Amino acid sequence: MALGRQKVICAMAQQLLTKGSASSRLECIMQHVSNSRKANTSSISLEQPKITHDEKALAQGAPFPPTTPGVLRLYNMRFCPFAQRTKLVLEHKKIPYETININLKYKPDWFVELSPIGLVPVLQLNDLVLPESTATCDWLDDMFPGETRLTPEDTLRRAWDRVLLENVGKISDVFYQIRRNADMKDKTLAKLEKKLQWFEQILSERRGPYFGGKTFCRDLS
């Protein structure tokens, strides 16, 4: 959680440097951080929300869909692999939530205002707004641990999972790098192979069918 929150604060700080007056952005960041401290499991409604994943994406000009107190909301884009991380965790933990699909080419103004880094996924619960897929997954995992826990209790193991996620989780970048610069193909593939060998070695030391070893754990998608 600490790491997740740190990421959010860093992302917000980055935003602070690039947009708006420093003092008003700082106020906004402090508000986000203080709101995230207030949220807890009991503030989430367990009723099935009415707005589902199949709704049309909202674009510029679309009115803001009013929130319902206690209803967890996911701002999503249907083909966004990052938002799918958050969705997978929500589904795995059977947490009721509503989905607002966003047209990312023509974002509604209210989404730009609401989202600290301008990207999906974003989770919203009452006054809490949380961006960044990994931060949302960490937060959900901390809020709803129990049998559906996805990250290890062991803090060092958890830290190592983060190392793997940050390094090997970005494998898709390689395909884009090769597409952008075909001359670098051999060098890029050699780097990828080295990384995969390192990953394989760690996985074999974990002796389990899953990334988490013997138990199911968040994957690297």
Structure tokens at 39: 């949220």
Q: Does 132 bind ligand GSH (CB under 6 A)?
A: yes
User: Tokens standing for 47?
Assistant: 């009723």
Q: Closest approach of Cβ 215 to ligand GSH, in Å? A: 24
Structure tokens belonging to residue 174: 């390689």
Q: Are 84 and 107 in contact (CB under 8 A)?
A: no
State the residue for tokens 């909301």.
Answer: 73
Residue 143 is a binding residue for ligand GSH (CB under 6 A):
no
The pair of structure tokens assigned to 72 is: 């967890």
Q: Closest distance between ligand GSH and the C-beta of residue 166, in Å?
A: 11
104 binds ligand GSH (CB under 6 A): yes
Kindly identify the residues of this chain, within the stretch 180-219, that bind ligand GSH according to CB under 6 A: none
Q: Which is nearer to ligand GSH, 11 or 29 (CB)?
A: 11
Considering only 38-46, 75-83, 90-98, 200-208, which stretch makes contact with ligand GSH by CB under 6 A?
A: 75-83
Find the binder of ligand GSH among 74, 133, 211, 217 (CB under 6 A).
133
Q: How far apart, in Å, do the first and last CA atoms of the chain sit?
A: 20
152 binds ligand GSH (CB under 6 A): no
Which sequence positions are flagged as catalytic?
A: 80
77 scored as a contact of ligand GSH (CB under 6 A) = yes
Of the candidates 133, 158, 141, the one whose C-alpha atom is nearest the C-alpha of residue 7 is: 133
Our measurement of the distance from residue 191's CA atom to the centroid of its chain's CA atoms, rounded to an integer in Å, reads 26
Q: What is the chain's alpha carbon radius of gyration, rounded to the nearest angstrom?
A: 19
Q: Where are the alpha helices (DSSP H) in the chain?
A: 2-18, 22-38, 81-92, 109-114, 133-143, 155-168, 172-180, 185-206
Query: Contact between 118 and ligand GSH (CB under 6 A)?
Result: yes
From candidates 29, 71, 80, 217, binder to ligand GSH by CB under 6 A: 80
Residues near ligand GSH (CB under 6 A), total: 11
**Residue type present at position 214:** K
The least distance separating ligand GSH from the CB of residue 125, rounded to whole angstroms, comes to: 17
Q: Which residues bind ligand GSH (CB under 6 A)?
A: 77, 80, 82, 104, 118-121, 132-134
